[in-house]
Amino acid sequence: MNAVDVPFYRRVEDALTKTRMRQAVRHTSGRAMESRRAAIAELDSSDAIRDQARAIRSRTLAALDQHLDTFATNVEKNGGTVFFAETGEDAVEYIRRLARDRGIRTIVKGKSMVSEEIELNPVLELDGFEVVETDLGEYIVQLDGDKPSHIVAPILHKTKEDCARVFKEKLGASDEDVAGVPQMTQLARRTLRKAFLKADMGITGVNFGVAETGSVTICTNEGNGRLSSSLPRVYVAMMGMERLVPTAADLGVMLEVLGRSGTGQRLTVYSNILSGPRRPGEADGPEEFHVVIVDNGRSKVLASELAEILYCIRCGACLYACPVYQQIGGHAYGSVYSGPVGSVLSPALAGIRAFHDLPHASTLCGACREVCPVRIDIPRMLLRLRAEGVEAGESPQWVSLGMKVLGWLGTRPRMFNLAGRVAARAAGLAASDGWIRELPLHLSGWTASRDFPAPAKESFQERWAKRHGGAS
């Protein structure tokens, strides 16, 4: 996962000019939040279940090494193969080598954020393999040479008109083929079915691995996960090392909150639990079952103050709730993981220097914490990462200088009060009807898209002194 070259604030400025994209993001986010509220409301003792889900994540990560050992042992008992990938490059090379050794030509993929994180597709395609994304949103993104903008809804930023354009340009679709969403869905279904039938390898992500059974769970609403994992002769499940639950009973709790938080459903349409390759005498299922467990920085995060971010179950609710994400969409973050969770996870995995701007892409309103099904305290970690950015020297020089001046003034009450009076008078000269519409130099960011309220002519301390006499 690499940072992009274009500075974050430049990406934000670009996103703010894309009116149609922003409308699509806000519209879909609003609908998703309404669906989530309704789904959570009908769940008996929803707070208690969320607390239970959080406890499961906490307990799992506290003994993650033991659960990983148990999981790997049981996968192998089921006839599968486990590969621990310390880095993204290790994971890519394992899959690449496996595909070469097995004579693979076509690979179908279910949705996998880990594969996006380690940039798997470009390497496989460069090696001559045909790689087809089969999640409808991911498929449209792939056809359009685009990237996902949401961890659950990859084309949140696209309208149906955008999708119709892609199908016409890339698939030669007729007007009738793109007359509506059902017609476009059927076109994609017909096209993808051919890919499923000729594929030699299937790759999917993993929502949860179950340690006690050695099973992997895939939650989808389209059935593409089931086809990707069952039709090809070689199946590869890609799993971030933290995506485990100890028992099947724990899995039941996580599924209760995942669908409701992610898509406003009681349960995803397809909840597939896979335990190894086909058995002797069985006609269905893959001949080979591989689980690639990816670290790629997670061990480092687990040992840090940011370990709580690994509780995340990738429901995407924090993105829907975030006022910043709603305004700029996912691409402005410059990372596979966008929104509040990405603003913590990206710098945690790749380092603060690579993504030092993302912790500032937040109002710290706490909406992400409120909607999180496992109650991750994202605002706390954003503040920690902001401090790390300053410690690493990534804070702009003018901000660092300004904070030093503020710190100096803050320990000298007389000078602080004098500076406050001077600033208030100066700001008053720039105000019109109580509002400042343009600030100079670096402060212009405040007034680029909003008016800034003029400071009061009289401070609270001055007013107190007038009303009550003497010093405050």
Q: Are residues 292 and 440 in the same domain?
A: no
Which token pair is 428?
């008053």
Cα separation, 20 vs 245, whole angstroms: 40
- The answer to whether 229 touches 218, Cβ cutoff 8 Å, is yes
Structure tokens at 73: 């042992």
Predicted pLDDT of residue 427: 76
d(CA 352, CA 354): 5
Answer whether 107's CB lies under 8 Å from 225's CB: no
For residue 322, is it within any domain?
Answer: no
Residue 415 inside a domain? The answer is: yes
Classify residue 333 by its DSSP letter.
Answer: G
Residue with tokens 């059902």: 182
Instruction: Name the CA dihedral angle for 155, 156, 158, 160, rounded to a multiple of 10 degrees.
Output: 90
- Which of 241, 265, 296 is the last residue in one of the domains? 296
Whether 247 maps to a domain, the answer reads yes
**pLDDT for 416:** 87
Q: What is the CATH number of the domain that holds 271?
A: 3.40.50.10420
Mean pLDDT, consecutive 10-residue segments, the chain of 472 residues?
A: 77 92 94 94 92 98 98 98 98 98 97 95 96 96 94 93 96 95 95 95 98 97 93 97 98 96 92 95 93 98 97 96 95 95 97 94 95 97 94 79 86 87 79 82 75 80 81 52
- DSSP strand pairing (81-85 vs 288-294): parallel
Q: Is the residue at 1 inside a domain?
A: no
In a domain, 348, yes or no: no
- Amino acid occupying residue 58: S
Same domain, 264 and 404: no
| Number of domains making up the chain | 2
Distance separating alpha carbons of residues 186 and 411, to the nearest angstrom: 68
Gap between the Cα atoms of 65 and 168, Å rounded: 49
**Amino acid at site 403:** M
Task: Specify whether 432 is located in the same domain as 287.
Answer: no
User: Do 285 and 143 share a structural domain?
Assistant: yes
Cβ-contact 243, 206 below 8 angstroms? yes
For 422, the domain range is 397-468
Q: What is the DSSP letter of 177?
A: T
Nearest to 130 by CA among 184, 203, 187: 203
d(CA 414, CA 39): 56
Q: Are residues 117 and 247 in the same domain?
A: yes
Are 268 and 256 in contact by the 8 Å Cβ rule? The answer is no
Buried b (16+ CB within 10 A) or exposed e, 33-72: bebbeebbeeeeebeebbebbbebbeebbeebeebbebbb
Residue 179 belongs to some domain of the structure: yes
Residue 446 inside a domain? The answer is yes
- Kindly provide the residue ranges of all beta strands, DSSP E only, lying in 176-318, ordered along the sequence: 201-205, 208-210, 215-220, 234-240, 244-245, 270-274, 288-294
pLDDT, residue 3, reads 65
Question: Do 69 and 178 sit in the same domain of this protein?
Answer: yes
Residue that finishes a domain, picked among 296, 330, 346: 296
| 74 lies in the same domain as 211 | yes
* In a shared domain, residues 291 and 401: no
Residue 361 falls inside a structural domain? no
Which of 263, 296, 329 terminates a domain? The answer is: 296
